[in-house]
Amino acid sequence: MRREAAGAAVRGGLALLGLALLPWVLGGDFYVNLASQVLIYALLALSLNLLIGAAGLTSLGHAAYLGIAAYAAAWLTGNAGFGALPAALAALAIGTASAAVFGVLALRASGLGFLMITLALGQIVWGVAYRWVSLTGGDNGIRLADRPAVLGFDLGTPVAFYYFAAAVFALAFLFLRRLALSPLGACLRGTKEQPRRMAMLGHHVWMLRWIAFVLAGFWGSVAGLLYLYYHKFVSPQALSLQQSAEALLMVLLGGSSTLAGPVVGAAVITLVKNLVSSYVDRWLTLLGVIFVAVVVFMPQGIVPGLAGLLRRLRALRPERAGAAPPRAAAGHEAAP
Amino acid sequence: MQFWLIQTLNSLALGGLLFLLSSGFSLIFGLQRIPNLAHGALFMLGAYIGTSLLAREVDFWLAAPLAGVLVGLLGVALERLVLRRLAGNEQGQVLVTLGVAFIIADLCLLVWTGDPIPVPAPEGLRRPVFLFGFAFPTYRLVVLGIAVAAAIGLFLLMERTRLGAMIRAGVDDPEMARGVGIRVSGLFTTVFCLGVALAGTAGVLGGPILSAYPGLDADMLPLALVVVILGGVGSLLGAFVGSFVVSSIYNFGTALFPDLAYVILFLPMVLALVFKPEGLFGRVRA
């Protein structure tokens, strides 16, 4: 157990070092910006995975929290004269509060009913952003004058913003990892596998799910703030069904049963999207095709799939065979 | 007075379209246990196919069923070739329908470009009729009539025919239905085809009211979702009542509070979820 903890610490340290060194490796601003985008979407996917991977609830409206927080922060700074920090805090509060309300509604159902209600709620939020022109600017969206300075650091340059996003992302990752290893995380996974048994044991299944929903909304809102600061702009596109679906695809492609999965999925989807969009205009078709392909051919996702492959390769090596029993299916403890 | 009458009629016409869209959605959901997220996209595809047929001088009353048949055939292919491979994996099936929705929407954009295509009402229905001194748009009355006729037809199909009895059995208990010798697999394809064809036909019929434009799918799908959440999964009566409730709320909302139409749409859904999560006429919880 201690060795595993040490191993996790080493891996975490290496990951942090990698995050810190990445701008030097990448060089140009274009790639640093791309890395920032990956981090933002990885955060969104991680927050969504709190529902999918941990609680077993597939949401198709998760972009709503990203969008609500981004709109709230942009509106409060631009139209209500809030400072950057109060606006950010208020936006997080509004995003989380809307998750609290939507959670009460969506958790009237589970399974596909849950999926349908989150989709309908997400589309209604999209419709509000699109149609309530006097509040949201409609299709034109809202511009943010400038990125805020955080603790005296100006986020104007790509590298500075990258480090800010990386710090927020690392914080979120640690939080979610800690949560996955905590009793609360274990209870959540219990409600996914055996809701009835958990209820029998005296756990409040609905409350556990609702907590997961609110936490997912909170981290989704954090991603929304990053999104706004990165683009300095928010439009209905930020909370469209396409955005929700992309977040879901990131989770499913990477694999929902690990923490690393959504991060890998976010990286792959963001890179493919940027690459494809610079050549052809058919990203939406490709998105649909990847969706179908992932569901049909790779239901487990990349990370668990690769982990399984590695385990099988290891089991093939004669000197190791029998020495250590192969570990059970990749759990939540897997780190990147 | 004229305003209220016209808005009421508009609501009823939109409700009729919504019924054609959501009855199929609801039946598919009831039988196959999956919300077909491509339903809005297939509605839009129907509308676009309709515009192309009309541009080739096909008569409107031929174009509508023809588009329905074409969309229905696409539905059969989708059900047989893709959804069938994922039997038992309901979440996978839903996600596939979402992927297909994206593909269809993007290909529609490719083929019919991004400009909205207006659809003229069929010859002879363009002039308003005058009743009791008020002018009524004739075409909307006709759409309402078609929707009511379709509702009666579907009701008779479900309640009075052998096929309907088998579908009802499949909705209530698929395993039992299989046990007594009903080919549930064939039913799946039939119902999927029928539901999707209704959506395609509705797309053409909706053309003169809504026109065909990119984003039509994203506008219609949430309306269908709200109808089914409100009316109850798998219930024709629920889809019927839900369609008119939702269309009235949406239509009057848009007319009276243009900014808030979508917020108002939220209300029936919230009320249904809080007080009657299985929907007004549903037997199973979504």
Least confident of A18-32, A71-85, A240-254, B106-120: A18-32
pLDDT value of position A220? 94
Q: Is A292 helix (H, G, I), strand (E, B) or coil?
A: helix
Distance CA A270, CA A169 (A): 16
In a domain, B285, yes or no: no
pLDDT attached to residue A282: 84
Q: Are A183 and A265 in contact (CB under 8 A)?
A: no
Largest CA distance in chain B: 60
Distance of CA B16 to the CA centre of its chain: 9
The pLDDT of residue A318: 61
Q: Do B35 and A108 touch (CB under 8 A)?
A: no
- CB of A127 within 8 Å of a chain B CB? The answer is yes
The answer to whether residue A252 neighbours chain B at the CB level (below 8 Å) is yes
| Block residue for tokens 């299709």 | A139
Q: What is the pLDDT of residues A177-202, one digit of tens each?
A: 888 888 888 888 888 888 888 888 88
Distance from C-alpha of B162 to C-alpha of B226, rounded to nearest angstrom: 30
DSSP B83: G
A2 falls in which pLDDT band (50, 70, 90)? low
Per the rule left: phi > 0, alpha: psi between -120 and 50, beta: everything else, A179 is alpha
Q: Can you list the alpha helix ranges (DSSP code H) found in chain B?
A: 2-32, 39-55, 60-77, 90-112, 138-160, 162-172, 174-179, 184-210, 216-231, 236-256, 261-275
Residue B241 covered by a domain: yes
pLDDT at A319 (0 to 100): 54
Is the Cα dihedral B234, B235, B236, B241 positive or negative?
A: negative
What three-state secondary structure class fits A100?
A: helix
With a cut of 70, list the residues of chain B below it in pLDDT.
283-286
pLDDT given at position A227: 93
Name the average pLDDT for chain A: 84
- Enumerate the residues of chain A whose CB falls inside 8 A of the CB of residue B105: 284
CATH code for the domain of B99: 1.10.3470
DSSP class of residue B128? P
| A76-105 mean pLDDT | 89
Distance CA A228, CA A67 (A): 9
Q: Above 60 in pLDDT, residue A332? A: no
In whole angstroms, what is the distance from residue B170 CA to residue B157 CA?
A: 15
Minimal CA separation from A105 to chain B, in Å? 6
A105 in Cβ contact with B275 (< 8 Å): no
Contact B98 A60 (CB under 8 A): yes
Lowest mean pLDDT among A62-66, A291-295, A316-320: A316-320
- Look at the block and give the residue holding tokens 């508009």: B10
Chain A within 8 Å of B266 (Cβ-Cβ)? Answer: yes
User: Residue A112 half-sphere exposure, CB side, CA atoms within 13 Å?
Assistant: 23
Is-contact A61 A216, C-beta < 8 A?
no
Tens of pLDDT along A258-268? 888 899 989 99
Measure in Å the smallest separation between the Cα of B61 and chain A Cα atoms: 32
Residue B117 lies in a domain: yes
Specify if A263 maps to a domain.
Answer: yes
Asked whether residue A201 is assigned to any structural domain, the reply reads: yes
The distance of A178 to chain B (nearest Cα, Å) reads 28
Query: Cα(A336)–Cα(B283) distance, rounded to whole angstroms?
Result: 46
Q: Is residue A334 part of a domain?
A: no
Minimum Cα–Cα distance from B36: chain A residue: A116
- Establish if B117 touches chain A: CB-CB under 8 angstroms: no
What is the domain count for chain A?
A: 1
A291 to B99: CB separation less than 8 angstroms, yes or no: yes
- Integer Cα distance of A301 and A255 in angstroms: 4
Closest to B53 in 3D by CA, of B234, B253, B207, B256: B207
pLDDT over 90 for what percent of chain A? 22
Can you name the residues that pair with A143 across neighbouring β-strands? A233
d(CA A123, CA A147): 28
Which pLDDT score, from 0 to 100, does residue A168 have? 92
Residue B286 lies in a domain: no
In a domain, A202, yes or no: yes
Residue A316 lies in a domain: no
Tell me the residue type at A282: R
User: E-assigned strands of chain A?
Assistant: 142-143, 149-150, 153-154, 233-234
User: How many structural domains comprise chain B?
Assistant: 1
pLDDT greater at residue B34 or residue A225: A225
Does B6 map to a domain?
Answer: yes
- pLDDT category at A326 given cuts 50, 70, 90 is very low
CB B247 within 8 A of CB B181: no
Q: Is residue A24 part of a domain?
A: no
Residue B282 lies in a domain: no
Q: Is residue A236 part of a domain?
A: yes
Q: Where are the beta strands (DSSP E) in A54-203?
A: 142-143, 149-150, 153-154
ipTM score assigned to the predicted complex: 0.82
* Candidates A126, A133, A284, partner chain B, best to mutate (most B CBs within 10 A): A284
B32 in any annotated domain = yes
CA dist A124 and B273 (Å) reads 15
> pLDDT tens digits for A154-171?
777 888 888 889 999 999
Question: How far are the Cα atoms of B114, B192, B216, B221 from residue B20, in angstroms, in the given order?
Answer: 25, 14, 15, 13
Q: Residue A300: inside a domain, yes or no?
A: no
Secondary element (H or E) of residue B135: strand B134-136
Report d(CA A239, CA A45) in Å as an integer. 14
pLDDT tens digits, A199-214: 888 888 888 889 999 9
What letter does residue B129 receive in the DSSP assignment? E
Residue A102 lies in domain: 30-268
Element (H, E) at B136: strand B134-136
Task: Please check whether residue B283 lies inside any domain of the structure.
Answer: no
Which residues from chain B sit within 8 angstroms of residue A113, using beta carbons? 233, 285-286
Residue A180's identity, in one-letter code, is: A
B218–A241 CB contact, under 8 Å: yes
| Buried/exposed code over B44-71 (b: 16+ C-beta within 10 A; e: otherwise) | bbbbbbbbebbeeeeebeebbebbbebb
CB contact set of A79 (below 8 Å; sequence gap of 6+): none
Nearest CA-CA distance, residue A244 and chain B, Å: 11
Rounded Cα gap, residues B218 and B207, in angstroms: 16
| Spatial distance between the Cα atoms of A223 and A69, rounded to a whole number of angstroms | 9
CB of B283 within 8 Å of any CB in chain A?
A: no
Would you call B131 an interface residue with chain A, using a CB distance cutoff of 8 Å?
no
The string of pLDDT tens digits covering residues B248-262 is: 988 888 888 877 777
- The residue range of the domain holding B59 is 2-275
* Distance separating alpha carbons of residues A94 and A214, to the nearest angstrom: 11
Q: Which two tokens stand for residue A321?
A: 């065979």
Q: Cβ distance B248 to B11 under 8 Å?
A: yes
Q: At what angle do helices A2-26 and A29-49 cross, to 10 degrees?
A: 150
**Distance separating alpha carbons of residues A249 and A294, to the nearest angstrom:** 8
Lowest mean pLDDT among A105-114, A310-319, A320-329, B100-109: A320-329
- The 10s digit of each residue's pLDDT in A65-90 is 999 999 999 999 888 888 888 888 99
**pLDDT value, residue A23:** 79
List phi, psi (to 5°) of A272.
-60, -45
B266: nearest CA partner in chain A: A124
* pLDDT score for A47: 92
